[in-house]
Chains A and B, each alone.
Chain A
């Protein structure tokens, strides 16, 4: 049985893996603050189960992070708190000078947690459907349908955003 890590060991661990994990957490949670909270919660869970982790702690932490984002966080009411954080930015402002690429990231935050988690795992973590399914403990079919629904929703939102933007540009030039 492994002993629990000290704070120094945990700091070393986070120095090695933390940056990428934080980036995923922020995308999963929708804001920097919520992402930091999510990562901290995942780290606490990692510490709690350290002695029983079968495999490497980094993979375990990653799985915890993804599953918290997809399920647990919402059950704990943090999802509602996070939504409140995102609501002001829910509709893309056509007057904004942000490009479509950045708008897509904001649109990502409007997706339901499970769809958003699947999208982040597939397109940011670049996991395959099978790897995503294994990380979330669901079937590859579920991953496929969640990704498909998520992308379709994002496409609708981005089309509507682009149309609004085009209309605005035409009105400005006309």
Chain B
């Protein structure tokens, strides 16, 4: 039954699936699972970035910035807003920073150049090239991982070493991507570090929620 088999098979596949309908909850489940995963990854990325930026921002603020017109300063990524979820996610303060392989962040490590030099020096990160991101000349720096898991990639401003773009990948695909802009270290901006402005319609939730 040479050609007959293919014909019967085709008819059988059509017939056996003809009455199928997408169950109502399927789209919602997919959407919520995706959103939950994204919020978790964003919080993780924000927590990681915060661990590094905490020390860097302090140093930049103390030194009075890096020059006119050059954005510097606070809002080190410790707070992320998910517009899908209308949530503000603040990582738990006790969350262990991943970027402490060369010494705890914020303890004697001041300034992005110092931090990056240390992270690169101990092999935790490596320079992977140069690129222009949002009009800024940057250095691309990739986390070195010896086992499967999320990989962090920074594009840092060539002149200030402040991150311009932070990307988290699962080793193959991008999980989360954030472009960062930096504010001047004015008292008003510095106050935002401890008391971030929460836009109307958003609620503050602990990390991992949402």
A-to-B contact residues, CB < 8 Å: 4, 6-7, 10-11, 14, 18-19, 22-23, 26-27, 32, 35-36, 39-40, 43-44, 47-49, 52, 100-105, 108, 119-120, 123-124, 151, 154-155, 158
> What size tier do the contact residues of chain B reach?
20 to 34
By the criterion CB–CB under 8 Å, are B30 and A47 in contact? yes
B3 to chain A, nearest CB (A): 11
Interface residues of B in 66-81 (CB under 8 A from A): none
Q: CA A23 – CA B15 in complex, angstroms? A: 10
Q: CA A35 – CA B27 in complex, angstroms? A: 14
Point out the residue from A26, A49, A108 that lies within 8 Å of B9, measured CB to CB. A108
- Given A100-B8, A123-B9, answer yes or no on A7-B31 (Cβ-Cβ < 8 Å): yes
B37 to chain A, nearest CB (A): 8
Kindly report which residue of chain B lies nearest to residue A103, judged by CB atoms: B12
Listed by A's residue number, 19 A-B pairs whose Cβ atoms lie within 8 Å are: A4-B84, A10-B27, A10-B30, A10-B31, A11-B27, A22-B17, A23-B20, A26-B20, A35-B20, A43-B27, A44-B37, A47-B31, A48-B175, A101-B11, A104-B5, A105-B16, A123-B9, A124-B14, A155-B1
- Given A7-B27, A49-B173, A151-B6, answer yes or no on A105-B21 (Cβ-Cβ < 8 Å): no
- Given A40-B29, A43-B30, answer yes or no on A101-B17 (Cβ-Cβ < 8 Å): no
Kindly report which residue of chain A lies nearest to residue B4, judged by CB atoms: A100
B10 surroundings in chain A (CB, below 8 A): 123-124
- Given A7-B27, A48-B34, answer yes or no on A123-B15 (Cβ-Cβ < 8 Å): no
Point out the residue from B6, B22, B37 that lies within 8 Å of A19, measured CB to CB. B22
Contact bitstring B162-203, A, C-beta under 8 A = 1, else 0: 000000000001110000000000000000000000000000
- Given A18-B22, A43-B30, A47-B30, answer yes or no on A27-B15 (Cβ-Cβ < 8 Å): no
> Does B23 have its Cβ within 8 Å of any Cβ on chain A?
yes
B-to-A contact residues, CB < 8 Å: 1, 5-6, 8-18, 20-23, 26-31, 33-34, 37-38, 84, 173-175
A35 surroundings in chain B (CB, below 8 A): 20
Q: CA A39 – CA B1 in complex, angstroms? A: 33
By the criterion CB–CB under 8 Å, are A26 and B17 in contact? yes
- Given A49-B173, A101-B8, answer yes or no on A22-B22 (Cβ-Cβ < 8 Å): yes
Kindly report which residue of chain A lies nearest to residue B2, judged by CB atoms: A155
A19 surroundings in chain B (CB, below 8 A): 20-22
By the criterion CB–CB under 8 Å, are A52 and B27 in contact? no
B175 surroundings in chain A (CB, below 8 A): 48
B7 to chain A, nearest CB (A): 9
A22 surroundings in chain B (CB, below 8 A): 17, 20-22
By the criterion CB–CB under 8 Å, are B23 and A36 in contact? yes
Most buried by A among B12, B15, B174: B12
Given contacts A23-B17, A40-B26, A44-B37, 18 further A-B contacts (CB under 8 A): A7-B27, A14-B26, A19-B20, A22-B22, A23-B18, A23-B20, A32-B20, A40-B33, A47-B34, A48-B38, A52-B174, A101-B8, A101-B11, A104-B9, A108-B9, A123-B13, A151-B5, A154-B5
